[in-house]
Amino acid sequence: MRTRTPCPKLKRMKMKRMLETEVMQADETWKIENDQQAEWALKKIHDAKSELEYWTNYYNGLIDALKGRTENTVNFMTMKLGEYFRTVPHKETKTKEKYTLPSGDLVLVKPKSVWTHDDAALLEWAKKNGREDCVKTTEKVSWADLKKNLAEAKDGTIYDKETGIVCGAVTASKSDPEFTIERMNVE
């Protein structure tokens, strides 16, 4: 099934914007030289993000509708196959029942016992009933508490602020600087 672009005008605008951007990106000498051009660039960013949001929402709507139709078809056909399955003789094992067709197998898995448990109550029960062999004790450093007492030297080594001892288990690395646009009031 082929879908049409909802608005031919939007398609023309999109093509024009793509061509403008490609021309500017190809011209490495192009620069933003004043506030007016910077404002124009911010508007271009805003327009590109708005266009992405529009098309994302549009196609996500189509995908959601298709998913709904697909789910309805699968559920209906599965229900009808289940009804048919009950009417034909099929092989049965301890765990499942199966009927084989050229295009696939219809399988009814028999119910299993599912165990759930409450960890706190189970721990208490194990201790009371002499099953300490089944109880695990885990040691773990409290990173939040330890981090408060650590500092970074100028050379990047991490040390304990109270004792001055170097902590070789922790390393520091610097992230790359990142240029971002924090506020856009473009309409």
Q: What is the pLDDT of residues 8-46, one digit of tens each?
A: 666 666 666 666 666 666 677 778 899 998 998 899 889
**pTM, two decimal places:** 0.53
Parallel, antiparallel, or unpaired: how do β-strands 91-92 and 96-101 relate? Answer: antiparallel
Q: Give 34's DSSP letter.
A: S
What confidence score (pLDDT) does residue 114 get?
82
Rounded Cα gap, residues 92 and 187, in angstroms: 67
Give the model's confidence band at 68: pLDDT under 50 very low, under 70 low, under 90 confident, else very high: very high
Q: Give 6's DSSP letter.
A: S
Rounded Cα gap, residues 144 and 121, in angstroms: 29
Domain residue spans of the chain: 8-87
Structure token pair of residue 135: 């109880």
Q: What is the pLDDT of residues 98-133, one digit of tens each?
A: 999 999 999 999 988 888 889 999 889 998 998 988
Structure token pair of residue 9: 């005008």
Please spell the DSSP secondary structure of 60-96, one letter per residue.
Answer: HHHHHHHHHHHHHHHHHHHHHHHHHHTTS--EE-SSE
181 pLDDT exceeds 80?
Answer: no
Lowest mean pLDDT among 17-31, 79-93, 134-148: 17-31
In the numeric block, the tokens 């016992």 are attached to 113
Structure token pair of residue 30: 């192009």
6 pLDDT exceeds 90?
Answer: no
91, β-bridge pairs: 98
